[in-house]
Every structure is written in structure tokens, then in C-alpha cells.
Amino acid sequence: MKAGRITSGFWLVAALLALWELSARLHWVDSPNWPALSQVLAALFHDIASGELPPLIGGTLWRMGAGLAAGSVAGVVVGLAFCLAPVTRMLLAPAVELLRPIPVPAVIPPLVLFLGLDDPMKITVVALTAFFPVLTNTMQGVAAVEAEAIQMGRTFGVGPLRRAAFIVLPATLPYALAGVRVALGLSLVVAVVAEMIAGEAGIGHYLVMMQFAGRAPEMYATIILLSVLGYALNRGFVAVERRAIHWWFALGRQADG
């Protein structure tokens, strides 16, 4: 939606939000689980101002960030290794592919046994989630590096290691970053999911607590907060990405797979 242009869609959203507010205020939906939008927003501001939510958000973001960083680095390294040294791919790809289709929440129970309920377990779960999209995109990126660039490197006598570092890696970067952007969205969700299932930390645990306590306004406030957070993280990442690889966009290319 372009700013300043009020379309039918804007009115639809406004009408739905008004319906939400009215249906709760006028008891059309008479349920303690259906608080008015204004009550939800009040709860959101109150929980932020009272200092209850900020440390929880901080904890969740820290686990997300640590896991994302670890998983992304692993994804790029393994992706480069698989492409540049095909032996590693032949030996290890099946093991990786056997892990990939396991739905993430299901690895949490066994990881709890090995790593406990706290940060190490959750960071590992996030890292595991982030690993796969980055790996896939990195490998696509290496495959897309122009053969010309590699041949030119060979002409100028660039050795395999320097070729990997100075030709393949920069050319792969846009693809890897596109993978990290996908991983970023998943990381926040998975960090929250891990908190919902195990342990007593973070915004995910708070969400489940509020459900058990029957505090619906706080529960919806948490969901709004998570949505805003996810949206802001994605926007922020896209901005950083444009900065980091502006030359790529200047060439008019797109790395979305």
C-alpha cells in the first residue's frame, strides 16, 4: 500500500479492527478470551512500560541471534565445502539430507536431554533451523558463479584457496544472504517455539503462561509484539543486505530462488 493513498483494503482492515473492538465492547462475543483491541494495546504498552517484556524480548533475541549466526556460518562453510570439494558432499550430504525433513519441534525433546532446558539447547535448535536454508542457497550461489570468472582467475594464476576466498565467496554472497534472510524469519519463530515447549525463559514461555493464566489481553499483546518484531527484523535485514551487496543490485539482479 502506497502511503497517503487510502484504498478499499485500508477500509477493510479498519472495519475488521473496529468490528473486533465493538464485538468485545458490546459483548457480541461474550468471552474472556476475546478482549477488545484497545485492551490488548493497553496491555502491550503496560507490559513494556512496566519493564516486564523488555528483558524477555532481549533474551529471545539473543538466543535467536546466536543461533542464527552459528547456523549461517555453518551453512556457508558446509555449502562451500560441498561444492568446492565434492568428496565432502559425497560423504556427508546423505547424513545432512536425513536430518533436514525432521520437523524442528521434534528435535527439541532429545536436545533437552543433552543440553538442558536453557540457552545452549535453544541456540542449537535455532542454529539447526538456520543451517538448511543458508546451505541450500550457498550451494545454488556457487553453482551460479560464472564459469568465466573462475577461468579468468585461472588465467591469472589464482590458486584454489584464493579462488574460493576472492572469487567464489563474494559472488556467492548475495545468494547466501538471501538464505540468511529466510533463516532470519524462521529463527525468531523457532526460538519462540523452543521457549514454548521447554524451559521458563523468553517471550515464548510468557505467551504460554498467559494462556494458562487466562490473561487474554497479554497473550494477544505478545503476539502483536512478535509480529512487529519479525517484520522489523526482516525490514532491517533487507536494508543491511542492500548496503552489503549494493553492487549486486546495481547489476539489476535478484537472488531470490
Partner 1 sequence: MRLRTLLPGLFVVAMIIAFLEFAVDAGMIRRALLPPPSATAEVLWELLSTGEFLPPLLSTLKLVFAGFFLGSAIGIGLGTAMGVSPAMYRLFEPLVELIRPIPKSALVPPLMLFLGIDDAMKITSVTLVVTFPVLLNTLQGVRGVDRVMLDAARTHGWGLGHTLWHMILPAALPFILAGMRVSLGLAMVLAVLSEMLAGQGGLGFLILDMQRSFQLRQMYAWLVILAVLGLLLNSIFLLAERRALFWQRR
Interface residues toward partner 1, by CB under 8 A = 1, 7-10, 12-13, 16, 33, 90-95, 98-99, 101-110, 112-114, 188-189, 192-193, 196-197, 204, 207-208, 210-211, 216, 219-220, 222-223, 226-228, 230-231, 234
Residues 150, 151, 153: CA angle, nearest 5 degrees: 65
Nearer to partner 1, 20 or 167 (CB): 20
Q: How far is the CB of 155 from partner 1 (least distance, A)?
A: 31
Q: Which is nearer to partner 1, 129 or 172 (CB)?
A: 129
Q: Closest distance between partner 1 and the C-beta of residue 80, in Å?
A: 18
- In whole angstroms, the minimum distance from the beta carbon of 154 to partner 1 comes to 27
- Report phi then psi at 215, rounded to 5: -95, 80
Nearer to partner 1, 40 or 167 (CB): 40
Residues 201 and 205: their CA atoms lie apart, in Å, by 6
SS3 62: helix
* Residue closer to partner 1 (CB basis): 84 or 96: 96
Length of the chain: 257
Q: Which amino acid, residue 86?
A: P
Return the C-alpha cell found at 150: 573462475
Instruction: For residue 249, give every residue at least 6 positions away whose Cβ sits within 8 Å of its Cβ, in sequence order, or none.
Output: 242
**Comparison of 15 and 26: residue with beta carbon closer to partner 1:** 15
| Selection from 59, 56, 52, 42 nearest residue 216 by Cα | 42
Q: Closest distance between partner 1 and the C-beta of residue 153, in Å?
A: 28
If the CB atoms of residues 13 and 85 are measured against partner 1, the closer one turns out to be 13
Q: What's the min distance (Å) between Cβ of 49 and partner 1?
A: 22
Q: Are 191 and 67 in contact (CB under 8 A)?
A: yes
State which amino acid sits at residue 252.
G
For the CB of residue 132, give the shortest distance to partner 1 in the complex, in Å. Answer: 10
> Strands, E, within 113-193: which ranges?
none
Grid coordinates 550451494 are at which residue? 139
